[in-house]
Every structure is written in structure tokens, then in C-alpha cells.
Amino acid sequence: MTEATAEVEDTEPGAPEGATTAAGRRLRWWREVGYVIAFYAVYSWIRNQFGSAGEGSTRIAYEHARDIIGLQDAIGLWFEPELQRWYLDLPAMGLIRLWNIYYGTAHFIVTAAALIWLYRRQPDRYSVWRTTLAAMTAAALVGFATYSLMPPRLLGDTSKFGACYEQQVPDCHGDDMVDTLAVHGGWLSFQDEEVAEVSNQFAAMPSMHTGWSTWSACVMWGLVRRRWARVAIALYPAATVFCILVTGNHYWLDAVGGLAAFAVGLGIATVLTRWNEARFRRREERRAEPAAAT
């Protein structure tokens, strides 16, 4: 992957107002915060317009779920029920509630921390990775809009978003998946009516928990040098994938989709950042020409 590596001049370490890109363009922290808030607000609004919002959405999402399960089963890798059953059979059910809290919080906290850390420590890398985050998140919206997907946790659910709503018989299709958030608790439960009504229940493909954790690991890898820290960073996406599977929030193919969204975002960001930095350099060169002539 390509990153800007030119030295940053006239920048005080840790001074946000002095943050400068590799092309010498200044970054303003308040402007970046505004970008992030505005983008996430638009992303959340668009995300929640699809999936579980429309009539017949549960049936369509369940049909897509059967397609995913059929594909995974065809290659001998429909293992989510066995994985979850094994984990919940561990002592204290593997402290599954902690994984539920992790699922509801880590992707926000770690992603935000990585973005802020990158801005303060290595502003020359900031533009390409900020744009990667935005581009891959926008790419994910395409998946949410075009392929609503019922997550494993709802395959045996009897709520209006569950596959067993009409039968009102838990696990009516025999998929043997548990909604760990509803049963064991965590940061929140999608069974809460207020949460369910404002959140797209079927925004499972791609898994942005996977995409954002991979993004965070790539960002933080360049910010640390100690071996133990790099090992912990490398394990973060792996832990996230384990979490989304064992809690029943995603299929492993959703994780593959998250990695694909990350790759698309990185490709778009690399092209856009190079173009924008070249445009900025040309503008600065034109400004410098009259001064040089005198």
C-alpha cells in the first residue's frame, strides 16, 4: 500500500493546529471534526433507510440469509452454530456479555482513537487514511442498500424482524443460533423497541466491524514500534471477527465483505489523495511564481 512519507515541516508535535500533510497543506482539527460528524450523520441516516424499514423486508432479508448459508454450507463452512454452541458451553458461557459490550463499543472507540492519534502524530499519513475510512464506509452503504441480510442472531427470533415471526415458535427453522444480546445482555439490545425502530436490523453485509477494525490496525501499526503493541494491534481485527461470529451478529462471509469494502476504500483514497496533493502542489507553485520573478 502507498502512503505519503515526506517530512512534515513547521509542525509542533502534538499541536493540532500545526498538522500538515505531506504536500504542506494545513489541517484544521475543527474542520476534520466537522467532516467526521457530518459524514457519520449522513451515513447513519442513509443506512437506516434500507433493510428493515420497508414492507416485506424481513422476508427478503431471510431469503438472502438462506442464500448465504447455502453458499457457506456448499463449501463446508457453515460453522457459526457449532462455534457459538461450543463457546456458550464454556464455563460462565465464556463471559459472552463482555463480547456483546465489545461488539457495541469497540468499533466506535478504537476507530475514533486511531483517527485522532494519527492526526496528532503522523499528519502526513492522515489524508489517505481519513479518506479510506470515508470511502469504505460509503461503499458499505451500497451493500446495505442492495443486499439486506438477516444476521444469524435473528434466524430463530420471533420478533417482527425475526425469521420465526409468523410461526411464533423459537428456532422454527432449526438453525440453532442464539441472539446473545437479547439473552445475555450487553451494551444494548436490538430487541429494545426504540433501538429496533431507528436501526437497520439487516445491515449485515458487509461487516463494518471487520472493515473498521482492519482500518484501525493498519493506521495504528505505523504509530507503534514495540513488538507487543504490534502483536496486540494485529490481533484486534481477528478478535473482532471472532466477536461478530460468536455473538451471532454476522456470517463469516460478511467479514469477507468488510475486507472487500476496506480494499475498495483504500484504492479510492490512494487515487484521490494523490490527485488532491498534486493539485495543491500545483496551486502553491503558481503562487510562488510571481514572487520568484521579482
Q: What digits encode the pLDDT tens for the residues 125-163?
A: 998 999 999 999 999 999 998 999 999 999 999 988 899
More confident residue, 124 or 206: 206
DSSP string covering the chain, please?
-----PPP-S--TT-GGG-B-TTS-B--HHHHHHHHHHHHHHHHHHHTTSGGGSTTHHHHHHHHHHHHHHHHHHTT---HHHHHHHHHTSGGGGGHHHHHHHHHHHHHHHHHHHHHHHHHH-HHHHHHHHHHHHHHHHHHHHHHHH-----GGGTT--STTSTTTTTT-TTTT------HHHHH--S--TTSHHHHHHS-TT--SS-HHHHHHHHHHHHHHTT---HHHHHHHHHHHHHHHHHHHHTTS--HHHHHHHHHHHHHHHHHHHHHHHHHHHHHHHHHHHHHHHHHH-
Q: For 41-45, 61-65, 168-172, which range has the lowest pLDDT when averaged over its residues?
A: 41-45
- The per-residue pLDDT of the chain, averaged, comes to 85
pLDDT of residue 133: 96
Q: For 16-25, 71-80, 262-271, which range has the lowest pLDDT when averaged over its residues?
A: 16-25
Is a pLDDT exceeding 60 seen at residue 53? no
